[in-house]
Structure 1
Amino acid sequence: MLRRIITIVAVISIVHAKNDRIPNYRNVMTEGGLVRGTRVESEEYFAFLGIPYAAQPTSYNRFKPPLPPLPWDGIYEANRTVKCPQRGKGDENCLVVNVFTPVKVPKNPLPVLVYIHGGSFLLGTGQTSGVGPLIKEDIIVVTMNYRLGVLGFLCLGIEEAPGNAGLKDQIAALLWVRNNINNFGGNPEDVTIYGMSAGGAAVEYQVLSKMGYGLFKQAIVESGAATSVWSFDANPIKTAIDMAQLLDFPNTTNVYEMIDYYRSVPAELISAMNYDYYNRLTDGTFGFVPCAEREIPYIEAFITESPYEILTKEKYNKIPMIFVFATLEGLFLRSSEFYEQNYKDRMQTKFLDFLPADLVFDTCEIKQDIATNIKHFYFGNKTIGDDTIIEYLNYFGDSLVLNAFFNSAEIHSKSNPVYLMEFAYKGGMGSYEEFYKNINIAGHGDVVKHVFLNKPINDESDKLAVGRMAKLIANFVKFGNPTTCRTELLPILWPPIQPNNVTCLHFDRDLQIIEEPYWDRKTFWDQLYAKFRRPTSFDKS
């Protein structure tokens, strides 16, 4: 009887929203109970923040797949912002979604965009504001939190820590969308997922995993790929041992002793030490990231092969996709390390320490020769320093992002429509670092800042760039095609990649179609990986 009364209240709240005078809140029924969202008048949307999609993953369940949340009585005030543990702060009770809807109740269910945040699988949180440009395009936006670092990606191959908990959190959030978004005015059969950096890699992982089948129909990948050196851990037991030693745990390979210890360490300490561990790595690895799982009875694995194996075998969900990258991916991705961790001098002295870990060599002599060749390809005879900043940023942009990114886009395009974009526009909405103030090129993370806004728009060219990005993404979400026709805002048709014809939309103050962007650098890395790629078959025990 109580649930029936609450449902009537929810319907009444939505009916009231149809009146000319829109209230400051809206109630919506979910599987867990009634939630109340708040109207954001400046952006003209309703925001439902911090809705639990899974139970708090603590104690025995800390590293296991997520469990359903407990239902609640009464009205859940959806105004909670929370971060999962990172850098010594955060709350393990963090598995929430944020839902943003237009103020007017739609006559027909709206398409849905679900965003997965980036941050090296170690940092970040679901966006809780700045979605106005997308909502104006008549779509519903959902963002999420998921477990990060060791808490999300400890992979011991046992029931207590099978691996990929963070990716399974994302699946649970997508299942929540499937089961609840219709009550918010969304269409559960018309979901597009979008992610940036580690979020972009996560989106590709969702496409590659059987667990994601049927939960979304399209995907947008920005500045990341599941096949990047940093997005897959080929030796997760070693990662767990190395991290445990930083936490003063005895040097042991016994996974059951390790899991007992990892469950006992406070989240604040474990996330702080995790960040320290991450900062010690120079070989392109990030520490605790997705892994290939062992098959464990009664536990569904997210993946049991490397993403490279799955992709090259074409054993994945074939759907329309957009791949978006920034012109200077190394900018902001590895900017601060140039000075703060003295990468320039360390690379000049011992460049081979900075080779990607997924390149393997038979001898130290071969490794040194390859390191010399790569260094010469990017820096010539110059000393790595203040006069080679662009070369430095291109090295990291190519080795950590673009090579794997381009190859993923090409392979996906064999069986489904794939649109490729280079984002070059550098206005006032993106990131800024004093050391790089004279570089007028978009860097890592700048694209999404024109989609989810972190600051007011104060410039007409920025307003145009934001409007164009919102329209391109909304068109893709609605129609599966980012440019259905030429308009004043988008005076160009963006063709998908065709076999042997890699077309790309170059997005700057003007829009133009180019072909094979930076293909000489891509070809250079392709040749290296053809000969030295780490074997894809390995022991997951």
Structure 2
Amino acid sequence: MLKLCLLLSLFVAVYGQSRPIVTTTGGQVQGMELSTGLLQPNFFAFKGIPFAEPPVGNLRFRNPVPHRGWSGVLDGAEHRPICPSTGWFGLEIGGEEDCLFLNVYTPSLSGNRAVMVWIHGGAFTGGSGDSWIYGPDFLVNDGVVVVTFNYRLGVLGFLATGDTAAQGNYAMKDMVEALRWVRNNIARFGGNPNAITVFGESAGGVAVHYLMLSQMGLNLFQRAISQSGTALNPWAFQPNPRAQAENLGRKLGISWSSTQNLVDQLRARPFQQLVDAQSGWADLEVPRGLTSFEWAPNVEPANSLEPRFLTNDPATLMRSGNFLQLPAIIGYTDVESLFMVHEDRIDNTAMGQFATNPYFYVPRSFNLNPLTQQTQVNQVAQTFRSIYFNGQHPHQGIVFNYTQFMTDHHFTFGIDRTVRYHAPRQTQPIYYYKFSMDGSLNMIKRLLFLPDFPGAVHADDLFHLFQVASFPVPILPGNIALTVRRRMVRMWVNFALTGNPTPVTDSLITARWERYTNANQEFMDIGENLIPSRVPHGGRLEPWHNFQNQFAPW
């Protein structure tokens, strides 16, 4: 009998004690009560809530339409289909076009708690908001309401023709529609609609930054956290979307008489044909990741038929100060592009090509012509070879140096540039960080067979915020990684609550995180300890900024 009681108690703890029903603007939804552990309070999960009409048929390649609602009680016990994905990295391949769903996790259905809305990454072509990878347990335990959601990916989220046929940025507008739903409904789940923080990583971090640059985001959120991505990363903005649309048409064997005719034909094709025609990582030109992703945000034409999300390029918007004035946390992991160790295995000519093409060293944002500005190109190449490779060309013997160069090229220069633009143009604080923790929760390093290299690779920080069910990690009490996770969760929640990640210091939050200024370049080094620091990478990024100012100021 005792064993039976214990089993029943375990069943209740895992599978829920009640099935509460909440009435939303679309109808009623029934959630589940879940446990985050024997010593932790239970929380409520409401999964698979539709926030927009299925973007199918005539609604494909158009702005999202608010969901019209449903009759009866919607069962919110399980996630619903993810959006169609190419699965670049072998994750979540598949999906359905009817995929615009969100998930709400709350400590209580009463109260007025701060809300944290997560935007998943995945190179704009993969991922979802499902809890198998973004389990909200740690954040909910610290007292906030957490919302995750899906948005259209790849060609379905970003096809554009540069004219009225297809204006693009449907994925970004899906995010706006999800935030509108949150604003209008979250109070019914115990959340405060006037205390919403959007946060995201990689393409999700880029998306957070774009939401700050768009007037569509006005009054939808009050704080922002961009992890490992902003709109100035070289892969995060598509300057020539029409070329991508036409290339897709050619891949599919389509002939067209106008951009409208092309879009009409693409709208009529099965979605899987469009998704299968997208490029993968191995298809990108060498050096990979230094040019725009095929499907990424773009500037929409002034004569667009529907409301526009992005009205100008990111640098212009930032220089003008035409962005939402919000407190923000912005940062990166210290060896973001450590995964580039493996590029030589994908293409063993990649690093060797640097020896014959100095233009490989030059960011596209410098706007240098390799034919007519060879002197300037050589100047950049020589400078970066000196900084990163001791004057040599990259090769297997100095592969870690290669990944440091790629880290700055892929991520940190654009992120640093973003911080320098925002800080003097807004009254609200910017909190800048480098995540350098290297421990038991750096699971991406282990997944990519990179544990012998120091530092935190791209997405290693995620395991310090979320319960990732797909990577169960047995960690003994006392492991420093658990302390770092508690600390990072607490700082992110502090920011959601107060707009300051370290309003007080104590045994967990051991240092005060100062706001960034261009004069002092303050940032927080988040490793085994919190170390307030200045000048990220010891000034390694300064030549990048100097060249940018010299050749193409933006």
TM-score, normalising length: structure 1: 0.89
**Match 1:117 to one of 94, 117, 120:** 120
**1:151-230 correspondence to structure 2 within 5 Å:** 151-230=156-235
Show the counterpart of 1:331: 338
Confirm or deny that 1:318 pairs with 2:325. Answer: yes
SS at the partner of 2:373? helix
Q: CA deviation at 1:359?
A: 3.1
Query: Are the counterparts in 1 of residues 212 and 324 from structure 2 also a CA contact under 8 Å?
Result: yes
Query: Are the counterparts in 1 of residues 341 and 399 from structure 2 also a CA contact under 8 Å?
Result: no
Show the counterpart of 1:10: none
Show the counterpart of 1:412: 422
CA-to-partner distance for each residue in 1:297-317, whole Å, 9 max, x for gaps?
652111211011000111111
Confirm or deny that 1:270 pairs with 2:274. Answer: yes
Distance 1:40 1:340, change over 3 A: farther
CA-to-partner distance for each residue in 1:229-266, whole Å, 9 max, x for gaps?
2111111111222232222334x683112202321332
Counterpart CA distance in 1 for 2:244 and 2:380 is 24
Confirm or deny that 1:66 pairs with 2:52. Answer: no
Q: CA deviation at 1:22?
A: 7.5
Single out whichever of 409-418 and 215-224 deviates more from structure 2.
Answer: 409-418
Show the counterpart of 1:50: 48
Distance 1:62 1:344, change over 3 A: same
**Match 1:443 to one of 457, 473, 494:** 457
Query: Are the counterparts in 2 of residues 284 and 354 from structure 1 also a CA contact under 8 Å?
Result: no
Query: Are the counterparts in 2 of residues 149 and 271 from structure 1 also a CA contact under 8 Å?
Result: yes
Counterpart CA distance in 1 for 2:364 and 2:298 is 15
Q: CA deviation at 1:404?
A: 1.2
Counterpart CA distance in 1 for 2:246 and 2:380 is 28
CA-to-partner distance for each residue in 1:173-228, whole Å, 9 max, x for gaps?
00000111011110111100001111111101101100000000010011111122
Show the counterpart of 2:240: 235
Confirm or deny that 1:259 pairs with 2:278. Answer: no
SS at the partner of 1:514? strand
**1:349-388 correspondence to structure 2 within 5 Å:** 349-350=356-357, 352-353=359-360, 355-364=362-371, 366-367=373-374, 368-370=377-379, 372-373=381-382, 374-388=384-398
TM-score, normalising length: structure 2: 0.87
**1:340-489 correspondence to structure 2 within 5 Å:** 340-342=346-348, 343-350=350-357, 352-353=359-360, 355-364=362-371, 366-367=373-374, 368-370=377-379, 372-373=381-382, 374-414=384-424, 415=426, 416-430=428-442, 431=444, 432-433=446-447, 435-454=449-468, 455-456=472-473, 458-459=475-476, 460-489=479-508
Show the counterpart of 1:280: 284
Distance 1:354 1:76, change over 3 A: farther
**Match 1:510 to one of 529, 532, 538:** 529
Query: Are the counterparts in 2 of residues 284 and 355 from structure 1 also a CA contact under 8 Å?
Result: no
Show the counterpart of 1:3: none
CA-to-partner distance for each residue in 1:466-492, whole Å, 9 max, x for gaps?
100110001000011111111111111
Query: Are the counterparts in 1 of residues 341 and 400 from structure 2 also a CA contact under 8 Å?
Result: no
Identity %: 29
Stretches of structure 1 that go unaligned for 5 or more consecutive residues are: 1-20, 537-541
Stretches of structure 2 that go unaligned for 5 or more consecutive residues are: 1-14, 87-92
Q: CA deviation at 1:42?
A: 3.6
CA-to-partner distance for each residue in 1:66-99, whole Å, 9 max, x for gaps?
0112311111111124221111621111111111
Query: Are the counterparts in 2 of residues 90 and 268 from structure 1 also a CA contact under 8 Å?
Result: no
Q: CA deviation at 1:59?
A: 1.6
Number of matched residues? 511
Q: CA deviation at 1:278?
A: 7.5
CA-to-partner distance for each residue in 1:101-139, whole Å, 9 max, x for gaps?
11x444x31010001111111111114252111011110
**1:525-536 correspondence to structure 2 within 5 Å:** 525-533=544-552
SS at the partner of 1:39? strand
Q: CA deviation at 1:531?
A: 3.2
Confirm or deny that 1:140 pairs with 2:145. Answer: yes
CA-to-partner distance for each residue in 1:378-412, whole Å, 9 max, x for gaps?
22343423222221111221112111101211222
Query: Are the counterparts in 1 of residues 333 and 435 from structure 2 also a CA contact under 8 Å?
Result: yes
Counterpart CA distance in 1 for 2:189 and 2:378 is 59
Residue type of the partner of 2:234? V
Q: CA deviation at 1:149?
A: 1.0
Distance 1:399 1:65, change over 3 A: same
Counterpart CA distance in 2 for 1:335 and 1:39 is 44
Residue type of the partner of 2:171? G
Residue type of the partner of 1:496? R
Distance 1:461 1:81, change over 3 A: farther
Show the counterpart of 1:80: 79
Q: CA deviation at 1:511?
A: 1.3
SS at the partner of 1:413? helix
CA-to-partner distance for each residue in 1:308-361, whole Å, 9 max, x for gaps?
1000111111110011211111123x4543322333334445453564333322
Residue type of the partner of 1:47? A
Counterpart CA distance in 2 for 1:128 and 1:380 is 45
CA-to-partner distance for each residue in 1:260-282, whole Å, 9 max, x for gaps?
23213322222122134883233
Confirm or deny that 1:27 pairs with 2:32. Answer: no
Query: Are the counterparts in 1 of residues 279 and 294 from structure 2 also a CA contact under 8 Å?
Result: no
Query: Are the counterparts in 1 of residues 362 and 381 from structure 2 also a CA contact under 8 Å?
Result: no
